Chains A and B, each alone.
Chain A
Amino acid sequence: MSTRSERHAAEDDAAAVEELHRRGWTDGLPVIVPTPQRVDEMLVMSGGLDPDVVLGTIGPADGEATVEKVAVNAVMAGCTPAMLPVAMAAVEAVADPAFELSAVQVTTHGLGPLVLVNGPVRRECGIAAGTGALGPGHRANACIGRALRLVLMNVGGGRTGTGDMAQLGHPGKFTYCVAEDEERSPFEPFHVSRGFDVEDSVVTVLGAEAPHSVLCVTDPDEPDPVDRLVRLLGASLANTGSNNVYLGKGNVAVILNPTHAEILAEHPRHVVQERIHAHAWQHRSLLRRLGGDLIADGAGDDRLHVTANPEDILLFVAGGDGQYSVVLPTWAAGTHGSLAISRSVRHEKACMVPLT
């Protein structure tokens, strides 16, 4: 299987890694050298697509993310071939015009694309959903998110100072991938709530800040732990330092740990969203005082919510049991204001046998 990518030579693997660093094609960490053989082995899992098929246009450089380019970056990221379909779906998702990738890449706001994975592919790839799932030590989580970032850099030109203008960024810009813990969630799986079948494997991407921790220590004797938890989550989303309460557009996310999810289990997802939304606001007068002209003048006791509708607060379960859930504020700017985009994962192996 020939490649259309430009070929480069180096004395050995170590020299090749140094050359990749020198050319600015890494994220600063060592990469796996994308030799033709490694790329061919990766492409076996391309879901039957030819290497030159364009999955999407990656801004701001408007580079074409071909199957091959994604495979090359997946090799560099340390992915196994089984992880390629997930990386491909993530690339397709961020390339959806509604994701506004060019703007997401160049904004001065510090956000990175969270990759949420649902369905059987979680087990096939070993994508973690439980304790420490957004931390180090989980190969699939680390490598799939990293593959997406390398595509954004190497195909989309999203490099610091030119195509990526984040003032500081956050560590999720290296990698930001997690599976939903569907088995411990009392709600229907997140992808089912988005219109997919339960047996589908789906990737959802959302341009998000780093996770903001929300502490809620539960007490079995407490009369209404649901009320306290939704108030905490709502208030955390309405953080006056985040964009959402000022701009009020698009999606935000709440990641419930299984303990907190169990507290909310008596309600379906949409009711939990409504109850959180009811507390996710700030008074206009406060926002005018803090944010100035970001907020239009009006009645000071107006309640400005972080999202237009309760269903815009995305809700899923991940992490270990305990007292910490997290909220994910977003950019909330652009035309659509940080929309989550979902794509199906292709599972099938390619028909062609790779030639080496």
Chain B
Amino acid sequence: MRDGATLARSGAAVAVLVTEEFLEEAAFIARAVGMPDVPIVRLPHPTAGVGEAAGAAIARQAAADIVDRLRGGLADEHQV
């Protein structure tokens, strides 16, 4: 989250991938560093150790969500 905020501050287009378990922490850190509106893409938790097929499915969905987020879509639903 902190890295995403730093990149966003530099003007780069950013979407931060955050698993469900860490959404609250991500929002806290984003607020703490003064960047509460950095786009977040929500991932299921965990993403590690789910196997190749499930991991690929998560990645496909995340890719689509990232594109939507960077286009300004998925507002609020995926933001904490």
A60 to B31, CA, bound (A): 11
**Number of A positions contacting B (CB below 8 A):** 10
A236 lies within 8 A of chain B by Cβ: no
Residues of B contacting A106 with CB < 8 Å? 25, 29
Stretch at the interface among A160-168, A269-277, A319-327, A337-345: A160-168
A163 to B25, CA, bound (A): 6
Q: Least Cβ distance of A165 to chain B in Å?
A: 6
Residues 17-40 of B, flagged 1 when their CB comes within 8 A of A and 0 if not, give 000011011001100110000000
Q: Least Cβ distance of A205 to chain B in Å?
A: 21
B2 lies within 8 A of chain A by Cβ: yes
Residues 142-157 of A, flagged 1 when their CB comes within 8 A of B and 0 if not, give 0000000000000001
Of chain B, the residue at the smallest CB distance from A163 is B28
A61 to B25, CA, bound (A): 10
Q: Is the CB of A102 within 8 A of B2?
A: yes
A62 lies within 8 A of chain B by Cβ: yes
Of chain B, the residue at the smallest CB distance from A164 is B25
Q: Is the CB of A61 within 8 A of B24?
A: no
Residues of A contacting B22 with CB < 8 Å? 165
Q: Of A102, A157, A162, which is in contact with the most chain B CB atoms at under 10 Å from its CB?
A: A162
Q: Is the CB of A60 within 8 A of B29?
A: yes
Q: Is the CB of B28 within 8 A of A162?
A: yes
Residues of A contacting B29 with CB < 8 Å? 60-61, 106, 163
B: residues with CB less than 8 A from A are: 2, 21-22, 24-25, 28-29, 32-33
Identify 9 residue pairs between A and B in the complex whose beta-carbon atoms are under 8 Å apart, listed by A's number.
A60-B2, A60-B29, A62-B33, A106-B29, A157-B32, A161-B24, A163-B28, A165-B21, A165-B22
